[in-house]
Amino acid sequence: MTNENRTGFYYGWVIVAVATLALVVSNGLSIGGIPVFYRSIREDLVASGAVAAENAESFIAFGASLTFLLSGLISPFAGWLIARFPLRNLMLAGCCILGSGLLLHANANSAGAVYAARILMGISLGFVGVLPCVVLVSNWFVGRRGTALGILLTGTSIGGVIIPPIATPLIERFGWRTAMMLVSLLIWLILAPLIMLLIRSRPETSDDLIEAGHRDEAADGYTFAEAIRTPVFWIFAFGAALIFYPIFVTSQQLILQAAKIGFSPWQSTFVLSGLFAVSVAGKFLFGFLSDKFPPVRVILFCTAIMFGSTFLLLNLNEVTAFVFLVPFGLGYGGAFVLIQRLVADIFGQRDYPKILGVITIGDTLGAVVGGMITGRLADIYGGDYTVGFYGVIAATGTALLLMIALNVHGSHPRETVNS
């Protein structure tokens, strides 16, 4: 009889709730929700002379890319620390780094100060972002790990849904600097105290261990060295990196194009929040479907609808912008979940953290390259992102071709890897 049957409550769900909140706040304030500040930041620093007008879009793109890049590069080091220190302590450190980064950003009067703040925000994600939260929840769940992780990963999108509507009126009333300091209170007054009071790294009581389903699990699968010698690894790695190219561009720079073509701040906010809201549904839907159908087929479908929708970016208006959100958001949410799952499905659990870590660095580089190319093209064309969106179409189309190849080579991944 499990602990849940005896008491009706399993503490692991408290862990899921706090970890999900951690992703809502950390991703929302560093990646998903921060774009609502971009227009005000750009106008302020251009007006003060800190940033040249002709480089304004590249300035925004580079700052966003720094956060994303550091979040990936810090992951191996954070993984090493996770194995040696209590997760609660590391998550609290992440809260301090993120909060400090936001305070620095709110007081930045130069491009260098903004970049330093964005670096701190990226580093914080190694300690209170996806990697530590996935490890934490996995420690508490075995038999229902997929369901728990599915709930957890919605936090990366929910932050992008709720932070913009919170920040937008604050920006309009108090200015972007005060607004940024105010939203940072979510870290200091809510997230950090909950982590301090409620987070435990793993089950400790016998009842919790039984409910968690902990048992000795054979470390099956392929070593990292074996995995990288297979064609499937490189097909999947490059495909995942190219999937993150359009994800990053649309989540960080679509709002700037919306402003360029005349959207009001609230309309732009709805576009950004809408993208993340639909991606939440995509994570639930395609995560569920991946238990019913071959996951390689599901990610192929996700990439296909992402690719089809990107053509709408070439003629953005009040109608096409919102039409774009539905197929792209669903596909992006599903692809995000499937990338995490397929690493284990294809290569097994033996070196899962190492293999996923390398895939994550590739995802990060794909996103950074996409953001930088798109921002630079926008500068060349006077702040218009349309030409940059051709790169989004090309990247997503190439990702689709690689997912087709993955289906050919990876339909029976174990046999393929062994061949």
Residue 251 buriedness (CB in 10 A; 0-12 / 13-18 / 19+): buried
State residue 46's pLDDT score: 96
For the chain, how many structural domains are there in total?
A: 2
State residue 208's pLDDT score: 56
Q: Give dist(CA 325, CA 219) in Å, integer.
A: 40
Contact assessment for residue 280 and residue 160, using Cβ atoms and an 8 Å cutoff: no
Whole-structure pTM value: 0.77
The residues near 27 (Cβ < 8 Å, ≥ 6 apart) are: 125, 129, 130, 155, 156, 159, 160
| Residue where one domain finishes, among candidates 217, 243, 270 | 217
Compute CA distances 413 → 216, 217, 236, 262, 418, whole Å. 25, 21, 11, 48, 8
Q: Give dist(CA 20, CA 155) in Å, integer.
A: 5
- 243 and 156 within one domain: no
Q: Give dist(CA 257, CA 275) in Å, integer.
A: 14
- 211 and 226 within one domain: no
How much is the average pLDDT of 279-299?
86
- 415 and 331 within one domain: yes
Tokens of 104: 């620095």
State residue 358's pLDDT score: 81
> How far does CA 99 lie from the centroid of its chain?
19
CATH of residue 22? 1.20.1250.20
- 184 and 244 within one domain: no
- 186 and 96 within one domain: yes
Q: Give dist(CA 36, CA 269) in Å, integer.
A: 7
Q: Give dist(CA 31, CA 75) in Å, integer.
A: 16
Compute CA distances 167 → 74, 152, 373, whole Å. 28, 23, 28
- 278 and 201 within one domain: no
- 289 and 164 within one domain: no
pLDDT tens profile 206-241: 555 555 555 444 457 788 889 899 999 999 999 999
Q: Give dist(CA 195, CA 208) in Å, integer.
A: 19
Domain boundaries, position 285: 221-419
- DSSP label at 221? S
Residue 12 buriedness (CB in 10 A; 0-12 / 13-18 / 19+): buried
8: left (phi over 0), alpha (psi -120 to 50) or beta: left
Residue 387 has pLDDT above 80, yes or no: yes
Could you give the angle at the alpha carbon of 273 between the alpha carbons of 309 and 58, nearest 5°? 75
Contact assessment for residue 289 and residue 298, using Cβ atoms and an 8 Å cutoff: yes
> How far does CA 133 lie from the centroid of its chain?
12
Contact assessment for residue 62 and residue 375, using Cβ atoms and an 8 Å cutoff: yes
How much is the average pLDDT of 186-206?
90
- 206 and 292 within one domain: no
Residue 205 has pLDDT above 80, yes or no: no
Confidence of residue 369 (pLDDT cuts 50, 70, 90): very high
Question: Between residues 295 and 219, which one has the greater pLDDT?
Answer: 295
The residues near 390 (Cβ < 8 Å, ≥ 6 apart) are: 314
Residue 410 has pLDDT above 80, yes or no: no
| Residue where one domain finishes, among candidates 159, 183, 217 | 217
- 65 and 151 within one domain: yes
**Furthest-apart CA pair in the chain: how many Å?**
68
Q: Where are the alpha helices (DSSP H) in 49-110?
A: 56-73, 75-82, 87-106
State residue 217's pLDDT score: 46
- 268 and 124 within one domain: no
- 230 and 362 within one domain: yes
Confidence of residue 395 (pLDDT cuts 50, 70, 90): very high
| Residue where one domain finishes, among candidates 182, 217, 252 | 217
- 296 and 157 within one domain: no
Contact assessment for residue 306 and residue 327, using Cβ atoms and an 8 Å cutoff: yes
